[in-house]
Amino acid sequence: MAIDGFDNISKERLSALADGELDPAASTASCAAWSQDPQLRADWHAWHLIGDVLRSEDLATDPRHDRAFCARLRSRLNSEPVVLAPAALAGPFGSRLERPSHRGRWTAAGAVAAGFVLVVGTFAVVRPGESPPAQIARNDTAIAPSVTSAPAPEVSTQPVAVVADSKVIRDAQLERYLEAHKQFAGTSALGVPSAFLRSATVDSAAR
Partner 1 sequence: MLLRAFVVLVSSWAAAAHGAPACSQIVVAASATAPSEMRAWLLRIHDAASRHNFQGTFVVSGGGNVASARIAHFCDGPNQYERIESLDGRQRRVYRHNDVVHTIWPANHVAMIEQRGMLSSFPALLQAGDDGIADWYEVRAEGSERVAGHEANVLAIRARAGLRYGYRLWADRASGLLLRAEVVGERGDILETSAFSDVVIGIRPQPESVLNEMRRLDGYRVVRPVLTPTRLEAEGWAMRQLAPGFRPVSCVSRQIEAAGDTGGEGAAPPVIQSIYSDGLTYVSVFIEPFRAARHAKPMFASIGATSTLSQRHGDWWVTIIGDTPPATLKIFAAALERRKP
Q: Please, which residue, 132 or 193, has the CB nearer to partner 1? A: 193
d(CA 15, CA 167): 47
**Angle value at C-alpha 26, between 24 and 31, nearest 5 degrees:** 95
Q: Which residues have CB under 8 Å from 106's CB, separation 6+?
A: none
Q: Please, which residue, 100 or 193, has the CB nearer to partner 1? A: 193
Catalog residues that contact partner 1 under the rule CB under 8 A: 81, 86-87, 89, 91-92, 158-169, 171-181, 183-184, 186-194, 196-198, 200-203, 205-207
Q: Please, which residue, 87 or 137, has the CB nearer to partner 1? A: 87
Min dist CB 125 to partner 1, Å, is 10
Q: Which residues have CB under 8 Å from 166's CB, separation 6+?
A: 204, 207
Min dist CB 80 to partner 1, Å, is 11
Q: Please, which residue, 138 or 207, has the CB nearer to partner 1? A: 207
Helix, strand, coil % over all residues of the chain, rounded to 5: 60, 0, 35
Nearest alpha carbon to residue 141 among 37, 41, 36, 11? 41
Q: Please, which residue, 19 or 203, has the CB nearer to partner 1? A: 203
Min dist CB 150 to partner 1, Å, is 18
Min dist CB 69 to partner 1, Å, is 19
- Rounded to 5 degrees, φ, ψ at 191 are -10, -120
Min dist CB 50 to partner 1, Å, is 37
Min dist CB 156 to partner 1, Å, is 12
Report which secondary-structure segment, H or E, holds 34. Answer: helix 24-36
Q: Please, which residue, 6 or 184, has the CB nearer to partner 1? A: 184
CA distances from 179 to 121, 194, 204 (A): 27, 17, 7
Nearest alpha carbon to residue 148 among 159, 160, 137? 137
